[in-house]
Amino acid sequence: MTDNPIIVALDCGTEEALTLAHALRGRVRWLKVGMTLFYTAGPDIVGRLKELGFEVFVDLKLHDIPHQVAGASAQIARLGAGMFTVHASGGSAMMRAAVESSRRAAEEVGLPAPAVLAVTVLTSVDDEGLLDVGVERSAVDQVPLLARLAATAGVDGVVCSPNEAALMRELLGDEALVVTPGVRPVWSDADDQARIATPAAALAAGASHLVIGRPITAAPTPAEAAARIIAEITEVTS
């Protein structure tokens, strides 16, 4: 049951996150620790979730000078994270520092190296939002530009909206990770996401992993919501 592409986003406090984790054991393999949970619970939350049998995706979207990102990446690797994110807009030198530092740190402590994922354009940002920050390219043009830059820096994959998943798969090849937030099952609201798709559509487009938060975490019974999404995927893809 846990061999599925869902990553459940735990964008909440410590106790709620642990309650959700216990409820989701045996349903999903991956949990996402974003800023809200990481800054509330601290780095130890990664180990606590791993002790429950989960793989952990640390989504802090690192974006700083290469030296600082290298240091943060090393610490994330030592925690045992399976994946973590950097902003592609931080540039190739910064991304390369994240890749090299995390691999070196993981080797030093005898852990598998985490996958480094480059965030292209946030799924809450549309073309108008890009214009607001001085980017005149549309999202459909900006995403591949950043993805190509990330590939040259040696990252393991990208985070992008489902709308760009097919292009990312074409650009980056079969082995790349293509992680798509902005995924909403057919029975769910869009919330604050601007560029979304259903789980089956995202997978068909080339996504390797689906980040899903509120449709599961805000459901009356999160385990049942996760099972419903898995069934939705299976029905369409089998």
**137-159: per-residue pLDDT in tens?**
998 889 899 999 999 999 999 99
CA 44 to CA 176: how far, in whole Å? Answer: 29
DSSP 45-99: HHHHHHHTT-EEEEEEEE-S-HHHHHHHHHHHHHHT-SEEEEEGGG-HHHHHHHH
Is the pLDDT at 130 greater than 60, yes or no?
yes
CA angle 168, 173, 175 (to 5 degrees): 110
Q: Where are the domains of the chain?
A: 6-237
Mind telling me the catalytic residues? Answer: 61
> Average pLDDT, stretch 72-77?
98
Q: What is the pTM of this model?
A: 0.91
- Distance separating alpha carbons of residues 154 and 196, to the nearest angstrom: 27
CB 4 within 8 A of CB 208: no
Residue 238 has pLDDT above 80, yes or no: no
pLDDT for residue 193: 46
The mean pLDDT value for 75-97 works out to 97
Tell me how far apart the alpha carbons of residues 146 and 110 are, in angstroms, rounded to a whole number: 32
> How many percent of the chain have pLDDT more than 70?
93
Model confidence over 24-51: pLDDT tens digits? 999 999 999 999 999 999 999 999 999 9
- What's the confidence (pLDDT) of residue 1? 44
Residue 221: Cβ within 10 Å count: 11
Asked if pLDDT for residue 135 goes beyond 70, the answer is yes
Query: Among the CATH numbers 3.40.50.2300, 3.20.20.80, 3.20.20.70, 1.10.760.10, which is that of 6-237?
Result: 3.20.20.70
Task: Give which of 200, 206, 141 is closest to 168, Cα–Cα.
Answer: 206
CA 118/CA 144 separation, integer angstroms: 12
Whole-number average pLDDT of the chain: 91
pLDDT value of residue 182: 80
Residue 56's nearest CA partner among 17, 88, 90, 89 is 17
Give 165-203 pLDDT, tens digit per residue.
Answer: 999 999 999 999 999 988 877 656 545 444 458 888 899
CA atoms within 13 A on the CB side of 197: 21
